Amino acid sequence: MTQDPTSMTNPGAAGASTRKVFIKTYGCQMNVYDSGRMADALSADGYVPTETMDDADLVLLNTCHIREKAAEKVYSALGRLREHKKARAAEGKEFLIGVAGCVAQAEGEEISRREPAVDVVLGPQTYHRLPQALQKVRAGERVVDTEYALEDKFEHLPDPTRIPGKPRNVTAFLTVQEGCDKFCTFCVVPYTRGSEVSRPLAQLLAEARKLVDAGVRELTLLGQNVNAWHGEDEKGRAIGLGDLLYRLADIPGLARLRYTTSHPRDMDDRLIEAHRDLRILMPYLHLPVQSGSDRILKAMNRRHKASEYVALIERIRSVRPDIALSGDFIVGFPGETDEDFEDTMKLVREVNYAQAYSFKYSTRPGTPGADLPDHLSEDVKGERLARLQALLLEQQQAFMHSKVGQTMELLLEKPGRMPGQLIGRSPWLQSVNVDAISSQIGDIINVRINAIGPNSLFAEVAPG
């Protein structure tokens, strides 16, 4: 997906500089956060954002390696940028190309070899060095920096601030944890993002306060395994994500908290208690299970059983009955039988998801799953995915219909398409359209849901 670069940058010391940067972001929410922090870093180098590539002096592709053929898509985009670079060079204008993110980490020098037009390649742990890398590029070097940084990159990034003249962002991401030690056999994250690392409590509280001071009302905590976050409080006591949520909930002006993505093995008692105690913590949980078959879960190295996952959901719902569940599913994992797939369908019916993401298994070179026997045909995987998605869509539509007639709080985030219309998010992360002429972005108002669309809800301002 392409994210609007103007929504995630800090003009910093740009001043009268004419340098402009266009950032194209692929993949996960953490990449969205990383793109914003790269833009923050670039502000110190005199860059300001542009919404169109043609205006840019620097184009950054912040890449994701999770989806199939991710690298090929990046190389295709680089081919188009190469031609644009030639045209700009003929005009005597600078046009630099950078590749960052997980494809950069995985491919490294291969990117420079296959596409000489690329000036800089940076992995997810080194993007704070971007201004220094660009200085080297202007001195005639090509930079490939995919070593895992020894220093804390967050200590080297400028503070996030509001962009003068731009509407404030009332929601923001905050990366609290990076990397993964789980080594699921289908996943490249441990190889592209490294081992699990948690940011210090004081650093997170400071950044959260600055975001709130800049107008943010809702924070989404991010991590490859966000509920694996751990740290120490001011007295040196070990704490986890639940404790962090309690601390963030005390920040004046912060109205909402969310977090993603979680692993079932890291869902501890304190975190479940936070869902019970904190009204600021929204009743929506993304908790991937991937499969409902114990045999396939073992082959995936998930280290939990389907029954344990279902029992965990029951515990969470016992303390927060209105919580909405989201999940991830992979169908057609090597060796998956009809019975294994039916176990997944059974789990989906038992849990009843408000939303979920589902994919056909696709091989990731270098992962253990790539070497497993009994890979399934695309036809079998496609048929199973279609059946699963039909069930998930049925559940999603039922959840949306259940909200019709309800009154709920809505955080207004942006203008709608129609005059006087604003768009906000429900506590359950649904997009809601409402005519709210007397309200403004950043307000939290009570609305009554009166209709549903294909992917959103429609509401009217509730009386009183």
CATH-assigned architecture of domain 153-402: Alpha-Beta Horseshoe (3.80)
Residue ranges of the annotated binding site for [4Fe-4S] cluster are 28, 64, 102, 180, 184, 187
**Tell me, what DSSP letter sits at residue 290?**
B
The CA distance from 232 to 248, in Å, is 15
5-145, CATH topology level: Rossmann fold (3.40.50)
Does the pTM surpass 0.85? The reply is: no
| Contacts with 262 (C-beta within 8 Å, 6 or more apart), sequence order | 225, 226, 227, 285, 286, 287, 288
Give, in words, the CATH class of 407-461: mainly beta
Where in the chain do CATH 3.40.50.12160 domains reside?
5-145
Where in the chain do CATH 2.40.50.140 domains reside?
407-461
CB 175 within 8 A of CB 222: yes
- DSSP string for 298-312: HHTT--S-HHHHHHH
Please list the pLDDT of the chain residue by residue as tens digits (464 residues).
334 333 333 333 333 357 899 999 887 788 888 888 888 888 877 899 898 888 899 999 998 876 667 778 888 999 999 999 999 889 988 999 999 988 888 888 899 899 999 999 998 878 888 889 999 999 999 989 887 654 565 665 666 655 544 555 899 999 999 999 999 999 988 888 888 999 999 999 999 999 999 999 999 999 999 999 999 999 999 999 999 999 999 999 999 999 999 999 999 999 999 999 999 999 999 999 999 999 999 999 999 999 999 999 999 999 999 999 999 999 999 999 999 999 999 999 999 999 999 999 998 888 999 999 999 999 999 999 999 999 999 999 999 999 999 999 999 999 998 888 999 999 999 999 999 888 999 999 999 999 999 889 999 999 86
CB 121 within 8 A of CB 29: no
Residue ranges of the annotated binding site are 28, 64, 102, 180, 184, 187
